[in-house]
Structure 1
Amino acid sequence: MHPKEDDKAQGPDQQPGEQEQAAERLQVFATRLSRMAHEQVQRRASLETRWLEDYRQYHGEYDPATASRLSQAEGSKVYVNITRNKTNAAEARLQDMLFPTDDRNWAIKPTPVPELDNVEPGEMMQSPGGQPIDKSKLAEAVNREAKKKAAAMQSEIDDQLKEGRFQIKCRDVIHDAALMGTGVVKGPIIVGRVKKRWDTGDDGTSVLTIEEAIEPSVERVDPWDFFPDMSARTVDECEFIFERHLWSKRQLREFARLPGALLEQIRAVVRGGKDSTQIAKDYVNDIRGITGVDSVRNDTKYEVWEYHGPIAKDELIDALSESRQDVDMEQIDELDDEVEAVVFFSGNSVLKVVLNPMDTDDRPYSVFNWETDESAIFGFGIPYLMRQPQVVINAAWRMMLDNAGSSASDIIVANRHLIEPADGKWSSQPGKKKLYYLNDKTRDVREAFASFTIPNHQQELAAIFQMARQLADEETNLPLIAQGEQAAHVTDTSSGMAMLMNSANIVLRRAVKNWDDDITRPTISRFYDWNMQYSDDPSIKGDYSVDARGSGALLVREKQQQNLMAYANLSAGNPELAIRRDWAGLDRELAKALEVPYEQLTRSDGEIQKEREARAQQGDPETQLKMAELQLKQQEAQAKAQRDQADLQLRSQEQQWEQQYKGAQLQSDQEVKLAELALKRGLTMAELEARLQLESSKLEADMQKTAAQLQTQRDTKAAEMTEQQNDRLAREQNMAMGHDSY
């Protein structure tokens, strides 16, 4: 090794013997990686057999052993495929939850105590005018700046994900997880994108400009090509990860153009052919056979492996020397004996070696499981979870068809010694008459035939079929309501439907949280780290955290609408809460919940300001409406008070009339009684008149006393009504003046 200027060495000068030794060491290195990859392939063999069974079940095909047994049994071979419906419903439901059309399922937020890059403490301690800022306001200024930078970082990552079609590829990953149990996302990976831009000059002509930009992107990794450390239970525990690529010669030529590619090794792979690089079996033809597509030969495909894991520093130096790259020897010397690297190899040939591009040494793989297996990285999918109910459903349905066919026609037993068919054939055709000859005329012809009916068990078999369907719902935790089918017990009310849907989403909510923990948070975190490391835009850099909020989209739309409306009404009715609310944001969330185009229905800020100024000149319609309502209430109160006064006077007059009538009637009754008494006792008229006058005086005194009591009651009632009316008017005046009612 001979260092050059600036401690750089361009593929250090080596003697022919040293080059051969380096090439041999690289071959030993590739052989070691190939042996490791082959071990992981063997350890995953049983898992691949299960995946093939999942594919057969999803496409409604029996496994070879069952298909052979059914063909020999000469019975029904029908397959009732409810697995596809279950799998597609679960996949669609999860996609709808994780990727709503009007929102993203992640966000970038500042940490509770953010630290900003490229901002000196002295800059934050001074206002724009140069005056020092109060220390109590420093934290608020830092948080405000951190939020601004976090929003810029979020927009940058969102643009990178959209350019890489993140949502589209994640839908494929969800399909893999629902079908096979495991989905794999890879990112960030560096790709060169061609961008087109039209530039218009001063003369009005437009010129097309094509630029190639190097940006991070994401990819979906086929689980068939993903070979992690099978001794690990999670992707974070993996000592290494292998990924298989099946490349054509054209793809190998494109790979050879990349910096750091070992051209001689790539030529050796092409000369050796496809068979020399084969380590793992390609299951594409097996899947084609299941789906009914003719198999194809992949003789033109070369198996290239991508290794992520630790390698020895000497192996890195040999690869860099072979590729003739500019090497910073001081940086190499500072490395540990083992370094985290990315190695491309095929067979016994190393094609490219680079250090892990991330300073965090994070590997670009994230794994999502539909149903987690605590003992392995790979999980279980919907077909596996409902394997046994599917078997029972198929068996019950075949038995129903076989029993229906057998019980539809009777078994006929004929005595050949008694009868003989006229045409010599014992079989009969429907709709045609059959003639028989009786051989023994001494016997009864009814002894020649006997008919037997096979019992029909359709109801019992149908009960088994329905029970198996219910078991499939329970074992997969996907009820009919979660599949878009309405069960018989579902209520017709919107609130009841919302509650039922929320209950049906409990299991899927766990899957969403697993997605947040296993895919969203680590993937977005790696994009954040990549932008912090490689982006030259200081406006996006800061101390942030990733908020994975896919579970926030789980609320049923109707339930969310009700909650938002109740919250808006509660805030509008309380002045303190009204001050706290962001009404523009609440309006946007209401439009989102109602699924209406907010931007098309909402005025611009300028139009809103003009409307406010016009209302200020004309008077606030809302205030005018409240004043009109108050005046109307006052008029109604006055009218009610007048009606109450009139009713009181009428009742008082009626009481007077009734009292006078009762007094007159009492006087008349007394006169009659006195006359009768005088007749009985023989009193003189003078005595009678004296007694009558005495009784009349007493009666008059009683009547005056009763009238006084009535007058006192009327005066008391009138005073109470007057006091109530005055109190009501005082309250209305206070409210009109903006004061409290009391």
Structure 2
Amino acid sequence: MASLGLLQYRSAADLQADEQAEAQRIRDEQERRRQLVESSLGAHIRRSWESAKMAKQEVEYRLLDCLRRRKGEYDPDKLTAIRKEGGAEIYMMLTATKCRAAAAWIRDIMMPANEKPWGLDPTPVAEVPDAYLRPLAAQIQAQAQQMQQQGQPVDMAALVEQAREQIRQAVQEKADDAAKRHEDVIEDQLAEGGWDEAFEAFIDDFVTYPAAFLRAPILRRVPTLAWLEGWQPIKTETIRPEFERVSPFDLYPSPDATSVDDGAYLIERARFTRGQLNQLMGIGQGSGYNDEAIRRVLEQYGQGGLRDWLWTDGERAELEGRGHEWLTPGDTIDGLIYSGGAQGVTLLQWGVSPDEIEDPLAEYEIEAILIGQHVIRVRINRDPLERRPYHKASFQPVPGSFWGQAIPELMADIQDVCNATARSLVNNLAISSGPQVEVYEDRLQPSEDPTDIYPWKIWRTKDSAVTGNNRALNFFQPQSNAAELLSVYDQFERRADDATNIPRYIYGNERIGGAGNTASGLSMLMESANKGIKDAIRHIDRGVLRRVIGALWLHNMQFSDDQSIKGDVNVVARGSSAMLIREQTHQLREQFLQLTANDYDMGIIGHDGRRKLLDSIAEKLDMPGLIPSEEQMQQNLASQQEAQQAQAKIEQAKAQAEIAEKQARAQKYGADAGQVQADVVQTQTETEAARQMAPLEAQKLLAEIAKLIAETRRSTDGGAGLEGAGPAGRIPGGAAPGGAAQGRAGGVPRQPGEVPRQR
């Protein structure tokens, strides 16, 4: 009995059969939708691919020409014409030199050692989250009630404004902290996702081709290492964003595109390995990858690969050093990555699940991957601004065009003239390197070989049948035009500096002349050259760096579980100003450090400000850990203060001891004050008496000296000396002989105050 009244009874077998039927219906619906997607969407991608290939033919000629000029090789048609004329096939690598110099210059600015050319700055007025606004009303109400209970007047408008201001300050501080933490997260994602390698390759494309491309971020499941207890390694898998350089040969915009986002579609021709396709399985339903379609691709093309050769692939492979690819079938699998817009109705017709289409009449940006006849991925781009995961920059953009101009194109005419001049120079040097010989073979002996010429050779000739000067050999020297050709080459080589804004002195050429002979003049020239390269770097900032960091920030804001990194911030690209920031800021910091090295300024900025200034300078000089942290500095200051206080106590104790000692001495000296005063009076009296007796003592001394001289003369000449001593028998000096002045024994004069010795 199937039913009784309002109750229905079914057996377990019936229920199981119904579940199996429902599961089979779902599988059939998914298979029907997959086949519809592969037939409808796959056909649309193929039609778009053919249209994009046709529109890019002229650009592919330009790409090949740029690559040839960078590699230093002639166009096949031009090389055939040169060989037809004969002579040298030399190619002057002027374009390669400019491209290498520009790439090194850009890497030095965009990839500094201890800095990053980007940042996250909070918006000037950060948005206030609801979590802060909800308790605002309760807080204001409680404060108003408290003021009313205390009998104070309540101004609700002032209370609301005060609370809002406090919340804005708190939110701004939170946004600053979140921006700093988010910068660390993005920097870690860039390091692990291969940003440096991809960006270096992008810079090479930037200076070589009319446009360079990066694809980021790409979510992939990659193997990583984890550590168990005891530091035992274990292999795990994680999904992380990665970054790839996309060759300009492999990107095909729609014919109406002027940027990566405004065209109807954008197609990348990609090559997958079996390992990469396996990594795409199991990422999750949100990624849009179809594991069943990937398995079918591996079954069909996993062994022999899939190559969709284009007409440019052969020469491109030769120029890129991959000429062996033509000899081996390879194991890679070609695919088309499609990014374009479609209406919701069209997506439903293509078989996209109705759960993903909110409005059938709305326009949706989708991402799809087609390999052979299988669409392995269909996903609606969930970027709020519908930006595609491709980023482009050109050395010199052309307004209204998808492709810009590259360095090889800017100096193409100059490179051609330099090549022609160099070929003419080599040919002329070869012709004028030795004499030309005119030979009359009828004048030579049969044994002579006119092509065998060497020094001191003797030519055997015959008589000429023609009268006159008819020599058997005539030599003449062709004219050398080397100086003129070198002058032409130098002039056009200098023109390359103006055409590319990459002067020779940037990469170490010492032949500058003019203002470049002085340090200040060279500095002015360098600053002028910086303007050109900064303009090119600005294109990288706007087209690539800001977009990539913004995409990572948006990805983390949407899918990261770490709430501490989320905040209202702006992405700031600092590449174009990194040159000035690095040089000028460092110089200004050093000047500021010297100007504030005084007590007055130190009282303003304080020790913490001085520490921050020193820390910033040490960071630029790659001296980590030299300046102590704020906590360490506080500890050091506390230790110094304790030491100063101890020293002050010691000095105070010493001062008190000295004061006590001086007081004791003063008391002792006070007891002897009378005696000291008597000694002073006696000393003054003796000094005055000595001063009065000084003239008498001086006269006595002169008399004794005169007497001593007279006695010495008498003892020498028996008294004769007295008669010739002077008039009236007197001694020079006015002392009479035999006077009061007597000499001392031994001829030593007596000192003042000394009593004469009796004879």
Look up the match of 1:364: 389
8 Å Cα contact 2:37-2:375 kept in structure 1: no
| 253 and 318 in structure 1: CA distance in 2 versus 1, 3 angstrom threshold | farther
Rounded to whole Å, the distance in 1 between the matches of 2:582 and 2:273 is 48
From 378, 385, 389, give the equivalent of 1:353: 378
Rounded to whole Å, the distance in 2 between the matches of 1:414 and 1:584 is 90
Kindly report the root-mean-square deviation, in angstroms, between the aligned alpha carbons of the 2 structures: 3.6
Structure number with bigger Rg: 2
Equivalent residue letter for 1:585: K
From 424, 429, 432, give the equivalent of 1:404: 429
Look up the match of 1:173: 202
Segments of structure 1 that go 5 or more residues without pairing to the other structure are 322-326, 621-742
Look up the match of 2:108: 96
8 Å Cα contact 1:342-1:356 kept in structure 2: yes
Look up the match of 1:149: 178
Percent identical among aligned pairs is 23
Look up the match of 1:583: 610
Moved more, 147-156 or 548-557: 548-557
Shift of 1:254: 5.0
Look up the match of 1:426: 450
**Residue 29 (1) aligns with residue 41 (2):** yes
Moved more, 135-144 or 555-564: 555-564
Pairs within 5 Å for 1:232-311:
232-249=257-274, 251-252=276-277, 255=280, 260-261=289-290, 263=292, 267=296, 271=300, 281=310, 283-290=312-319, 294-297=323-326, 298=329, 300-311=331-342
Moved more, 451-460 or 464-473: 451-460
Rounded to whole Å, the distance in 2 between the matches of 1:330 and 1:416 is 97
1:60-114 Cα deviation digits (max 9, x unpaired)? 1111112111212121111121211110110010011011111111111111110
Look up the match of 1:383: 408
Equivalent residue letter for 1:215: R
Shift of 1:491: 4.9
Rounded to whole Å, the distance in 2 between the matches of 1:223 and 1:591 is 42
SS at match of 2:379: strand
Shift of 1:617: 5.2
Look up the match of 1:472: 496
Shift of 1:19: 6.0
Look up the match of 2:561: 536
**Residue 568 (1) aligns with residue 593 (2):** yes
Rounded to whole Å, the distance in 1 between the matches of 2:302 and 2:193 is 33
Shift of 1:454: 1.9
Equivalent residue letter for 2:615: R
SS at match of 2:590: helix
Rounded to whole Å, the distance in 1 between the matches of 2:349 and 2:378 is 10
1:477-500 Cα deviation digits (max 9, x unpaired)? 100122233323465766554443
Segments of structure 2 that go 5 or more residues without pairing to the other structure are 1-17, 144-158, 646-759
Rounded to whole Å, the distance in 1 between the matches of 2:185 and 2:33 is 47
| 241 and 153 in structure 1: CA distance in 2 versus 1, 3 angstrom threshold | same
8 Å Cα contact 2:261-2:387 kept in structure 1: no
Pairs within 5 Å for 1:81-230:
81-117=93-129, 119-122=131-134, 135-200=164-229, 205-230=230-255
- With structure 1 as the length reference, what TM-score do the two structures score? 0.72
SS at match of 2:375: strand
SS at match of 1:119: helix
**Residue 452 (1) aligns with residue 476 (2):** yes
Rounded to whole Å, the distance in 2 between the matches of 1:21 and 1:135 is 54
1:607-638 Cα deviation digits (max 9, x unpaired)? 53354345445669xxxxxxxxxxxxxxxxxx
Look up the match of 2:418: 393
Rounded to whole Å, the distance in 2 between the matches of 1:112 and 1:401 is 65
Moved more, 364-373 or 287-296: 287-296
Rounded to whole Å, the distance in 1 between the matches of 2:306 and 2:601 is 74
SS at match of 2:576: helix
Shift of 1:214: 2.0
Shift of 1:242: 1.0
1:621-674 Cα deviation digits (max 9, x unpaired)? xxxxxxxxxxxxxxxxxxxxxxxxxxxxxxxxxxxxxxxxxxxxxxxxxxxxxx
Rounded to whole Å, the distance in 2 between the matches of 1:611 and 1:464 is 69
Look up the match of 1:636: none
From 634, 659, 672, give the equivalent of 1:609: 634
8 Å Cα contact 1:228-1:235 kept in structure 2: yes
8 Å Cα contact 1:125-1:138 kept in structure 2: no
Equivalent residue letter for 1:302: I
Shift of 1:315: 5.6
Rounded to whole Å, the distance in 2 between the matches of 1:228 and 1:541 is 35
Shift of 1:295: 3.1
- With structure 2 as the length reference, what TM-score do the two structures score? 0.71
SS at match of 2:403: coil
Q: Which has the higher contact order (CA 8 A, sep 6+)?
A: 1
| 416 and 422 in structure 1: CA distance in 2 versus 1, 3 angstrom threshold | closer
From 54, 74, 99, give the equivalent of 1:62: 74
Look up the match of 2:655: none
Look up the match of 1:632: none
1:373-430 Cα deviation digits (max 9, x unpaired)? 223222222212111111111111111111112222223333445x223514222322
SS at match of 1:49: helix
Pairs within 5 Å for 1:306-705:
306-313=337-344, 316-317=347-348, 332-334=357-359, 336-417=361-442, 419-431=443-455, 433-440=457-464, 443=467, 447-486=471-510, 487-489=512-514, 491=516, 496-555=521-580, 559-572=584-597, 575=601, 578-579=604-605, 582-593=609-620, 596-605=621-630, 607-616=632-641
Equivalent residue letter for 1:80: M
8 Å Cα contact 1:412-1:449 kept in structure 2: yes
Rounded to whole Å, the distance in 2 between the matches of 1:250 and 1:599 is 41
Equivalent residue letter for 1:519: V
Equivalent residue letter for 2:475: S
Rounded to whole Å, the distance in 2 between the matches of 1:190 and 1:209 is 22
8 Å Cα contact 1:266-1:351 kept in structure 2: no
Equivalent residue letter for 2:262: E
Rounded to whole Å, the distance in 2 between the matches of 1:302 and 1:466 is 49
Look up the match of 1:665: none
Look up the match of 1:659: none
Equivalent residue letter for 1:189: I
1:435-467 Cα deviation digits (max 9, x unpaired)? 222223884666444333322111110111101
Look up the match of 2:155: none
SS at match of 1:436: coil
Rounded to whole Å, the distance in 2 between the matches of 1:492 and 1:614 is 55
Rounded to whole Å, the distance in 2 between the matches of 1:153 and 1:572 is 36
SS at match of 1:401: helix
Rounded to whole Å, the distance in 2 between the matches of 1:550 and 1:334 is 41
Rounded to whole Å, the distance in 2 between the matches of 1:120 and 1:586 is 35
Shift of 1:236: 2.9
8 Å Cα contact 1:495-1:558 kept in structure 2: no
SS at match of 1:184: strand
1:300-331 Cα deviation digits (max 9, x unpaired)? 4432111112234456457667xxxxx6x555
